[in-house]
Amino acid sequence: MTSNKKNKYNCPRLKTGLIVLLVLVLVLGGILAYIAWDRGFREHPQPEWVMRDGATRFMYASIGAEWDAGIPYWIFMVLPRMYPDKLPGPGGYASLGIPWEQGMELPVGFTKKTIGFPRVANNCAVCHTMRYRTSPDAEPVLVPLGPGHTSNVEAYFRFIVDCAKDPRFNSDNILMLIELNTKLDFIDKLLYRFFIIPITKKRLLEREAQFQWIYNDAYPEWGRGRDDAMNLTKYFMIEVQPPDDGTFGPTDFPAIWNLKKYDSQPEDANPQRLNLAGDTWDAYSVVMDSALGLLGAEPPDAEEFVGHVQWITDYAKNTPPPKFPYPVDAAKAAAGSIVFDRHCASCHAEDSDKVGRPLPLAEVGTNRDRLDTWGRKYTILANQVVEEMGLERRGLVEEDLPGYNV
Ligand code: HEC
Ligand code: HEC
């Protein structure tokens, strides 16, 4: 100090006052930041039973989709009560035909994870879990990795967006219903009112813009047990112009057990391929791309994400199909095997060199809609996008494909 002139900053009382104020602001800011993290973003592990065995893990474990594609649990829970008319039938989410185990809080393939607040997202099981009964009133048996032949996933996609578009989707109405189910504390109430509900609405409306063709009534419905998988992948990964390119190619959900059969190596001349058009010969690539589609964004933690992808790949590779659950009439089977050998074996026998390879469209004799939803141009772009995320996979084959896989 060169001068003893007093300026206002040298007044010791004011100085102490300012310091106290500063400390208060910092403490308050810290508390607010902590609350925002704790109630908005703090990750809690799922309950232990989820990882009890491969089946529960496949059906209920989070693969990280709650971050960007998750719906706040309490909003998810009240929507069917608020908008029963927007679902395909009575019974809430059960009307979507997605397997639902007795006593479980959520249908198969719906994951619950708390990231600040409980959220609901999806995993592979929503489309890849089969259900059968041995008699009309028997308990259904669930088979993870089997095709979800009754699941109407398009109705689900549409339902949540239709809810968000409805003017009644606002904080007052939704909070009122939530509070019939649970007691939110003061902070949660504020968060739901001013952040969680408005942001959820905004996000769902953005989803409609990104996946316009799903909400375009000009296309037929996918139907149960089917979805337009390559379009879902394309519109998520690539900025397609125009945003609805006029293609439409829903296919059945396949079984994804026994994926070991695709254990080919890059040097194999004619490896078996996956997907209806044989888009790749690497199971790990399909699993990774499917998982990215469920996340709807770049994974927040690449290492953790790759861990999920590897586990699912190993589980699907090493799980054999279940035994056929119904009695087989030996006489009919013997007669059928003659027909099979004569008319089907050239393509479908296990040792046929056609099995698992694309058959030219003219020979299949069906339409080319599914082929047109994808192709070399999009493959190159999709492979680039995944590489830019820093994720390694062998990728999709960068060529236009001739037909459908046997
Ligand atoms: C919304 C429904 C849906 C979800 C979710 C989904 N899939 Fe699929 N999956 C499909 C459909 C439909 C196909 C067939 C696509 C085609 O070829 O047109 C498919 C194909 C596959 C195949 C190729 C099977 C074969 O033999 O050719 C594998 C493997 C697969 N999915 C794994 C997964 C994994 C693993 C996940 C989760 C990370 C997942 N899928 C999530 C619908 C889904
Ligand atoms: C020339 C080759 C060829 C012959 C012969 C052939 N198929 Fe196929 N089959 C295909 C191809 C290619 C597909 C997939 C294309 C599609 O689904 O449109 C297919 C699909 C199927 C599917 C659907 C499989 C699924 O997972 O959805 C069944 C079932 C089937 N064939 C049964 C038969 C039977 C039964 C015979 C004999 C009576 C037979 N096929 C003869 C080529 C053949």
Q: How far is the CA of 122 from the centre of ligand 2 (A)?
A: 31
Q: What is the pLDDT of residue 12?
A: 82
Q: How far is the CA of 293 from the centre of ligand 2 (A)?
A: 28
Residue 89 pLDDT > 90: yes
Q: What is the pLDDT of residues 293-347, one digit of tens each?
A: 999 999 999 999 999 999 999 999 999 999 999 999 999 999 999 999 999 999 9
Q: How far is the CA of 124 from the centre of ligand 1 (A)?
A: 7
- Considering only CA atoms, which residue is closest to atom 35 of ligand 2? 344
Residue 153 pLDDT > 70: yes
Question: 6: pLDDT confidence band, cut at 50, 70 and 90?
Answer: low
Residue 4 pLDDT > 80: no
What does the pLDDT average to over 366-391? 94
Q: Which atom in ligand 1 lies closest to the alpha carbon of residue 227? A: 12
Q: What is the pLDDT of residue 293?
A: 94
What does the pLDDT average to over 357-384? 94
Q: How far is the CA of 25 from the centre of ligand 2 (A)?
A: 71
Q: Which atom in ligand 1 lies closest to the alpha carbon of residue 283? A: 29
Q: Is residue 404 in contact with ligand 2, taking CB distance under 6 Å?
A: yes
Q: Which amino acid is at 169?
A: F
- Listed in sequence order, the residues at least 6 apart from 54 whose beta carbon sits closer than 8 Å to its beta carbon are 144, 315, 319
CA 224, CA 336: separation in Å to the nearest integer? 29
Q: Which residue has the higher pLDDT, 5 or 234?
A: 234
Q: Is residue 348 in contact with ligand 2, taking CB distance under 6 Å?
A: yes
Q: What is the pLDDT of residue 209?
A: 87
Q: What is the pLDDT of residues 13-66, one digit of tens each?
A: 888 999 999 999 999 999 999 998 999 999 999 999 999 999 999 999 999 999
Q: What is the pLDDT of residue 323?
A: 93
Q: What is the pLDDT of residues 215-274, one digit of tens each?
A: 988 999 999 999 999 999 999 999 888 889 999 999 999 999 999 988 877 678 888 999
What does the pLDDT average to over 278-288? 94
- The separation between CA 228 and the C-alpha centre of its own chain, rounded to angstroms, equals 13
Ligand lying nearest the CA atom of residue 273:
1
Q: What is the pLDDT of residue 242?
A: 83
Q: Is residue 363 in contact with ligand 2, taking CB distance under 6 Å?
A: yes
Q: How far is the CA of 397 from the centre of ligand 2 (A)?
A: 23
Q: How far is the CA of 355 from the centre of ligand 2 (A)?
A: 10
Q: What is the pLDDT of residue 297?
A: 93
Q: What is the pLDDT of residues 90-129, one digit of tens each?
A: 999 999 999 999 899 999 999 999 999 999 999 999 999 9
Give the CA distances from residue 333 to residues 82, 298, 300, 325, 327, in Å, rounded to whole numbers and listed in that order.
51, 49, 51, 15, 11
Ligand lying nearest the CA atom of residue 232:
1
CA-wise closest residue to 140 among 329, 328, 325: 325
Q: What is the pLDDT of residue 1?
A: 47
Label residue 352 left, alpha or beta by phi (over 0 means left) and psi (-120 to 50 means alpha): beta
Q: Is residue 355 in contact with ligand 2, taking CB distance under 6 Å?
A: no
Q: Which atom in ligand 1 lies closest to the alpha carbon of residue 308? A: 38
Q: How far is the CA of 161 from the centre of ligand 2 (A)?
A: 37
Q: What is the pLDDT of residue 8?
A: 58
- Considering only CA atoms, which residue is closest to atom 13 of ligand 2? 406
C-alpha angle 59/391/371, rounded to 5°? 75
- Listed in sequence order, the residues at least 6 apart from 328 whose beta carbon sits closer than 8 Å to its beta carbon are none
Q: How many CA atoms lie within 13 A of 135 on its CB side?
A: 2
- Listed in sequence order, the residues at least 6 apart from 337 whose beta carbon sits closer than 8 Å to its beta carbon are none
Q: Is residue 376 in contact with ligand 2, taking CB distance under 6 Å?
A: no
Q: What is the pLDDT of residues 159-204, one digit of tens each?
A: 999 999 999 999 999 999 999 999 999 999 999 999 999 999 999 9
Instruction: Name residues contacting ligand 1 (CB within 6 A).
Output: 122, 124, 126-128, 153, 227, 229-230, 251, 253-254, 256, 259, 274-276, 283, 286-287, 290-291, 294, 312, 370
For a ligand 1 pocket test, name from 214, 230, 256 the mutation site with the most ligand atoms within 8 angstroms of its C-beta: 256
Q: How far is the CA of 242 from the centre of ligand 1 (A)?
A: 26
